[in-house]
Every structure is written in structure tokens, then in C-alpha cells.
């Protein structure tokens, strides 16, 4: 009897263990399945609030990740301030820092969806540019199935007015900045799981891609868009079917403005500016203006929306440092040649040549180093002011260290200020006259720069020849009146 009870309890215990084991295996299987299905899926903690969305993407892995993060936030803030009737969605890769995600969600009121980076099968193409490696993440826009229509955007767009009528467009609509090739910096799409899966299939099979990025892939995927009709939003607010070309006014290339220094886009509302320029001349970089006049408009938009709180600490630190350098060099007035020893005529000649080279490199460094120290995304006016302060401070170090005349050393500083004034002059009739004026100013400045360089070299020679060197070790110092006679 006791044996039967033990056998019964043992069987019961084995059953419990067996059930636990089966539950564990089911859990592992479910987890593995979920992990397998996680790829190509979007994850978001926020629920959609509107039936349409403006979307952009964010990924990591380039030297300019922070700059594009700032640009994305500025664009989002501009959309929020315009009162658009749509969600703002950021398709962010899993490696985007959580503090950035929280800022986008809590401060910018955006909906962030986390995705796994799509592998780029074109990365071994001869003409492939590494900075476009992850731009194919843009295809996730077709997987935003919570929305009827999505306007997909690059971060270098600047909105001038609401464009909610774009949600009336069809299954795919884009702007032809190039007469024959549409631009993927802005396009309208209808999310579709079938289309999304087909896009992934085309990636795997290696569809032809002219540039290895999203631009070439989508142009290849929608080859007939040029033959489609122009989009005109229906007055009754209904949504269209099919594909359409968007008027150029929905994505005005900044290059058109630089040619005439005014907008002359007759087709469509002048609603959005795009900046498809060289990577280091995007409008959020402080040095982009006044080289490119529209950079100031972008920064004014940021000043009114996001602000510059993140950069101001560095601005204050550098400003105090530069002012301290100016004060110290004026009070101390060190003289580097006095640290040298006289070891014979040949050695003195070598030392003088070396000091000349050092002095010239110090002057060049005074104009180069501050450029890289200024925070890149600072307001352009503050950026240039901080750069000029830094170059003045470091130039004063060279002036006082080598006993050089101030004016020749500061000639490049004055020419830079003059260049900025020439470029910001508001009375040019068009961009061609402006460009010719800048080239003319540079041509006239070249002789002045050469004369200042010659003056610096001659002043260095005089300063080194008249400077008193320390005597060699073991030699008696020169008589008191020797210096005066020399």
C-alpha cells in the first residue's frame, strides 16, 4: 500500500516535470518563431493617433549621425508647429541611442518605430557610396500598415506650409527634380504588406540599382512614373488611386534659388525646400551660410523650434578660453626665440629657419584649428563669431610669441570678414552676379595676402637677428653694453 502511494506520487511528480518541460519547449519554440518574425517588422510603444503619417528614418553608422538627428528633430518640430493632421513617425534602427528615442517621443511628440537594418546587397558595386549603405531602411515605410497614406521624408527638407493634401495622392507619388529621374527625398505611398514583401524579394534577387541606395532602387522599381499624370488634389478631399507625379513646388531644390536668389517655381504650391547638396554643405552646418544663402533660413527655423541649448555650453567654454588666451598673451608677451642657445653661426642659421617655419605654421593653425572646434550644428551667426574670436586669439599667440606686427598676421582675418560681407550683400540681382563678385573679391585679395606674407617673413628675419640669445653653457655672459651696441 505504501509502495503504491509512493509510485503514485512519483508518477505525479514525473507528470509535473513532463508538463514543465513541454511548456519550456513551447516557450522556446514561440520565442524562436517570434525572433524569426521580428526581422522586417516594426516595433513601437505608441499607438497611431491619425490615419495618415509623415515619416522619416534614422540609423547609425556614419560620422554625421548627430547632425542628422538634429536635422530630423528640426523638421519634426516644423511639422508640429504647422499643425499637420497626421502622425509624425521616425523609423529608427535598433542601434539608435535610447536617449534620442526618448527625446523624439517625449519632446517632439513623434512616434518611433524600431526596425532591424536591411542588408544592402549593392554594397560591392563599383559606384557605391558607403554613406548610403542603410538608406534602404526607407522601404519600411510600406510596412506602416496602421496608416492609409504615408509621406516619406529625408531629414534635409524644410517645410514652409502645411501639405496635408498630399495624403490624397495615390499608391505612389514623387517629385521629378531631375527631368527624367524622380527624387526619393519626398514621396507619397500607400502602405501594403504585399508591396513590402515584394520589395524585399526584389532586394534579395538583386534588382538593378544605379547607385546602390534607395534612390536607384525605387527608380528601378517604379520605372513608369514619368508617364503618369500630374497630381492635383481633389476638392472634395477624396483619395486618388494609382501613381502620380508631384509638382515641383512640393520639393523645391535649393539650387534653383541660388541661381536667381529668389524662388521661381510656377508649378504647385511652394511648400517644401529640399537641400540635396554636398554632404558637408547641408544647411545645418554653421559654415554653410553665407556660402549657401538658404542656410540662414534653416537655422532660423531651428531657433524658433528646437533651439541651441545643447551647443551653448561648448560655446561659453570656448569663448572664455579664447578671451583668456588673448589676455594672457597681451600680458605675458613671451618670446620663443629667447629660449634658443647660440651654438655657432651654422646652428643659429638652422634655428632661425626652423623658427620661421614654426611661426608660419602657427599662423596657419590659428585659422584652421578654431574651424574644427566650433560645434557643427551651431547657429551660423554664432558659429562664425566664435570662429573669428578663436582665430583672433590664436593669431595673437603667434604675434606675441614671435614679436610680429599685428596687421600682417591679421590680414587673413580681415579678408575672411570681407568675404562674408561680400557674400551677404543683399543687393545682388541674381546668383551669377553674386558669384562673380565673390571671385572678383578673391582676385583682388590675393596680392594683399601675398604682401602680408612677405611682411611676416621679413619681420621674422629682423626679429630673429636682433633677438639676444642665451650664451652657450660655460661661456661668460656678454658685457652690459653689448646688447645696445648690437
Mean pLDDT per 10-residue section of the chain, whose length is 486 residues: 42 48 46 43 71 96 91 94 94 96 94 94 84 92 96 94 95 93 95 96 90 92 95 93 95 89 83 85 93 91 91 95 90 56 56 81 94 95 96 92 89 96 93 95 95 90 60 45 44
- What is the distance between the alpha carbons of residues 279 and 64, in angstroms, rounded to a whole number? 9
Locate 281 and state its grid cell.
Answer: 554643405
Question: What integer pLDDT is reported at residue 262 of this predicted model?
Answer: 87
Question: What integer pLDDT is reported at residue 4 of this predicted model?
Answer: 43
- What is the distance between the alpha carbons of residues 54 and 57, in angstroms, rounded to a whole number? 11
Q: How many CB atoms lie within 10 A of CB 237?
A: 10
- DSSP annotation string for 303-347: HHHT-SHHHHHHHHHHHHHHHHHHHHHHHH---GGGG-B---HHH
The CA-atom distances, in angstroms, between 249 and each of 161, 198, 221, 253, 256 are 11, 31, 24, 9, 11
pTM: 0.81
The CA-atom distances, in angstroms, between 85 and each of 79, 153, 162, 389 are 10, 16, 9, 45
CA angle 461/465/467 to nearest 5° reads: 115
SS3 of residue 168 by DSSP: helix
Locate 419 and state its grid cell.
Answer: 568675404
- What is the distance between the alpha carbons of residues 338 and 341, in angstroms, rounded to a whole number? 8
**Pair 285, 279: CB distance under 8 Å:** no
Residue among 141, 424, 145, 417 at smallest CA distance from 290: 424
Residue among 152, 132, 139 at smallest CA distance from 212: 132
Question: What integer pLDDT is reported at residue 42 of this predicted model?
Answer: 61
CA angle 399/401/406 to nearest 5° reads: 10
The CA-atom distances, in angstroms, between 234 and each of 166, 231, 240 are 11, 9, 8
**Pair 295, 351: CB distance under 8 Å:** no
Name residues whose C-beta falls within 8 Å of residue 471's C-beta, 6 or more positions apart in sequence.
341, 342, 477, 478
| Cell 554643405, located at residue | 281
Task: Report phi then psi at 174, rounded to 5.
Answer: -150, 165
Amino acid at each position: 500500500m505504501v509502495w503504491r502511494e509512493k509510485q503514485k506520487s512519483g508518477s505525479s511528480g514525473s507528470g509535473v516535470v513532463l508538463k514543465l518541460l513541454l511548456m519550456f519547449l513551447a516557450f522556446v519554440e514561440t520565442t524562436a518563431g517570434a525572433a524569426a518574425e521580428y526581422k522586417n517588422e516594426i516595433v513601437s510603444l505608441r499607438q497611431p493617433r491619425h490615419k495618415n503619417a509623415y515619416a522619416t528614418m534614422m540609423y547609425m553608422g556614419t560620422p554625421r549621425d548627430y547632425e542628422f538627428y538634429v536635422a530630423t528633430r528640426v523638421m519634426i518640430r516644423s511639422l508640429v508647429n504647422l499643425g499637420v493632421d497626421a502622425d509624425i513617425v521616425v523609423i529608427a534602427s535598433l542601434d539608435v541611442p535610447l536617449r534620442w528615442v526618448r527625446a523624439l517621443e517625449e519632446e517632439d511628440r513623434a512616434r518611433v518605430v524600431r526596425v532591424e537594418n536591411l542588408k544592402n546587397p549593392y554594397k560591392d558595386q563599383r559606384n557605391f557610396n558607403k554613406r548610403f549603405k542603410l538608406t534602404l531602411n526607407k522601404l519600411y515605410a510600406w510596412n506602416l500598415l496602421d496608416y492609409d497614406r504615408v509621406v516619406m521624408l529625408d531629414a534635409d527638407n524644410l517645410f514652409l506650409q502645411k501639405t496635408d493634401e498630399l495624403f490624397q495622392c495615390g499608391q505612389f507619388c514623387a517629385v521629378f527634380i531631375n527631368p527624367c529621374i524622380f527624387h526619393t527625398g519626398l514621396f507619397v505611398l500607400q502602405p501594403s504588406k504585399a508591396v513590402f514583401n515584394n520589395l524585399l524579394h526584389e532586394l534579395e534577387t538583386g534588382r538593378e540599382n544605379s547607385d546602390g541606395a534607395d534612390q536607384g532602387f525605387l527608380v528601378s522599381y517604379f520605372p513608369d512614373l514619368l508617364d503618369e499624370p500630374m497630381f492635383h488634389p481633389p476638392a472634395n478631399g477624396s483619395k486618388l488611386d494609382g501613381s502620380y507625379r508631384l509638382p515641383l513646388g512640393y520639393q523645391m531644390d535649393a539650387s534653383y534659388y541660388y541661381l536667381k536668389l529668389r524662388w521661381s517655381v510656377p508649378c504647385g504650391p511652394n511648400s517644401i525646400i529640399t537641400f540635396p547638396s554636398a554632404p558637408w554643405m547641408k544647411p545645418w552646418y554653421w559654415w554653410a551660410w553665407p556660402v549657401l544663402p538658404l542656410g540662414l533660413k534653416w537655422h532660423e527655423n531651428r531657433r524658433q523650434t528646437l533651439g541651441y541649448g545643447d551647443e551653448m555650453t561648448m560655446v561659453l567654454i570656448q569663448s572664455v578660453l579664447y578671451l583668456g588666451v588673448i589676455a594672457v598673451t597681451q600680458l605675458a608677451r613671451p618670446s620663443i626665440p629667447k629660449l634658443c642657445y647660440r651654438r655657432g653661426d651654422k646652428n643659429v642659421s638652422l634655428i632661425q629657419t626652423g623658427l620661421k617655419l614654426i611661426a608660419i605654421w602657427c599662423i596657419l593653425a590659428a585659422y584652421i584649428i578654431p574651424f574644427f572646434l566650433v560645434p557643427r550644428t551651431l547657429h551660423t551667426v554664432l558659429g562664425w563669431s566664435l570662429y573669428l574670436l578663436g582665430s583672433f586669439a590664436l593669431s595673437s599667440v603667434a604675434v606675441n610669441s614671435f614679436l610680429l606686427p599685428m596687421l600682417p598676421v591679421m590680414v587673413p582675418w580681415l579678408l575672411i570678414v570681407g568675404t562674408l560681407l561680400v557674400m551677404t550683400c543683399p543687393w545682388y540681382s541674381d546668383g551669377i552676379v553674386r558669384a562673380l563678385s565673390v571671385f572678383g573679391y578673391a582676385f583682388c585679395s590675393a596680392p594683399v595676402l601675398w604682401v602680408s606674407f612677405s611682411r611676416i617673413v621679413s619681420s621674422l628675419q629682423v626679429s630673429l637677428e636682433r633677438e639676444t640669445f642665451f650664451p652657450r653653457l660655460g661661456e661668460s655672459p656678454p658685457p652690459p653694453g653689448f646688447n645696445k651696441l648690437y
